[in-house]
């Protein structure tokens, strides 16, 4: 059943005063409620419901208004419900004609409404907010032609190019992808690979570097065996989706396997963010920084800046 939308009846009550008679009609929320196209939101959100018997849903203006208030003032569901009962401007914004002393909805209705609408339908709120901002001249239409993204700090979980954890992580990801593609490996090295990583960390902590390098070579051997085993069994044995994921990961794993400490050219510092690069900044306190560059959108309407990535 579709929601029964509210309409301003204009009728008075003998025992109660109308909200528009006791509040300031020049308030920001009152002006905003008059600017928003509630019929557009009702049409977009109403398409989710089906004409079936049952209890009618809550009005779209009530739920959409609550969602706008929640994100505008950065409130939790509990605080939003408390302020809605106390604030007549909140109630007028959500379509009430008379002041309500109790909630006309349940708090859990907010969560269920968001889940029912989904992200795609909630984009209508963003679309309507941009429309209102344009009508009120808060922004110009020319400001929407280009989006400039410039970030200065973006933490990344990066590792040293020859780190033992990077080798072990590459092997674990390959084994997991192979299992998802139903590829039976000769050996996954899950248990002994973990022990080899622990050995390397303990030897390095104790400054026993010969033994640590021996454990590092063992991890490198395990990764190379898994790469070759998957490469032999990959062609024509899995579907296209799994093959694309495995091919991409095999390329990264081979780069991790072959890269050296002092080699020139790009290195892999993180498997989940292979775009991270190391550049020299010339700073005395930090000679090198890791930068992740965002790829521009295909339409060419997005300009992006670099983001510093820290270990």
Nearest residue to 229 via CA among 216, 246, 209:
246
Q: Is the pTM of this model over 0.95?
A: no
pLDDT number for residue 228 = 93
User: Please, are residues 117 and 49 in contact by the beta-carbon 8 Å criterion?
Assistant: no
Helix (H) or strand (E) holding 216: helix 209-234
Residue partners of 68: CB distance under 8 A and separation at least 6: 36, 93, 125, 129
Q: CA–CA separation, 96 vs 20, rounded Å?
A: 10
Residue 243, classified by CB atoms within 10 Å of its CB into exposed (0-12), middle (13-18) or buried (19+), is middle
> pLDDT tens track of the chain, all 311 residues?
566 666 666 677 777 888 888 899 888 888 888 888 888 777 777 766 666 676 777 888 888 888 888 887 888 889 999 999 999 999 998 888 888 888 888 888 888 888 887 776 777 776 777 677 677 665 666 666 666 665 555 666 777 777 888 999 999 999 999 998 888 999 999 999 999 999 999 999 999 999 999 999 999 999 999 999 998 888 777 777 888 888 889 999 998 888 888 888 788 888 877 777 777 767 777 777 666 654 444 444 444 444 444 44
For Cα atoms 143, 145, 150, give the angle at the middle one, nearest 5 degrees.
75
Kindly give the pairing relationship between strand 276-280 and strand 288-293: antiparallel
């Amino acid at each position: 059943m579709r929601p029964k939308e509210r309409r301003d009846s204009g009728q008075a009550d003998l025992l109660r005063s109308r909200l528009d008679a006791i509040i300031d009609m020049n308030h920001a929320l009152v002006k905003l409620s008059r600017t928003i196209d509630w019929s557009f939101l009702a049409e977009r959100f109403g398409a989710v419901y089906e004409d079936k018997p049952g209890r009618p849903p809550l009005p779209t203006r009530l739920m959409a208004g609550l969602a706008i208030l929640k994100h505008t003032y950065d409130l939790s569901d509990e605080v939003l419900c408390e302020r809605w009962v106390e604030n007549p401007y909140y109630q007028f914004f959500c379509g009430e004609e008379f002041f309500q002393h109790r909630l006309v909805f349940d708090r859990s209705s907010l969560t269920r409404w968001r889940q029912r609408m989904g992200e795609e339908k909630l984009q209508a709120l963003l679309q309507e907010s941009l429309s209102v901002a344009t009508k009120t001249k808060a922004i110009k239409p020319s400001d929407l032609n280009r989006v400039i993204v410039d970030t200065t700090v973006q933490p990344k979980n990066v590792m040293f190019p020859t780190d033992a954890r990077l080798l072990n992580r590459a092997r674990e990801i390959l084994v997991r992808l192979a299992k998802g593609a139903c590829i039976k490996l000769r050996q996954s090295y899950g248990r002994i690979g973990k022990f080899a990583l622990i050995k390397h960390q303990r030897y390095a902590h104790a400054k026993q570097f010969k033994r640590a390098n021996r454990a590092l070579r063992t991890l490198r051997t395990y990764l190379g065996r898994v790469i070759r085993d998957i490469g032999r069994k990959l062609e024509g044995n899995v579907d296209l989706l799994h093959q694309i994921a495995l091919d991409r990961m095999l390329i990264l794993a081979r780069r991790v396997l072959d890269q050296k400490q002092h080699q020139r050219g790009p290195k892999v510092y993180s498997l989940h963010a292979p775009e991270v690069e190391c550049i020299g900044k010339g700073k005395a306190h930090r000679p090198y920084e890791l930068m992740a560059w965002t790829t521009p959108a295909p339409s060419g309407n997005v300009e992006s800046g670099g983001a510093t990535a820290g270990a």
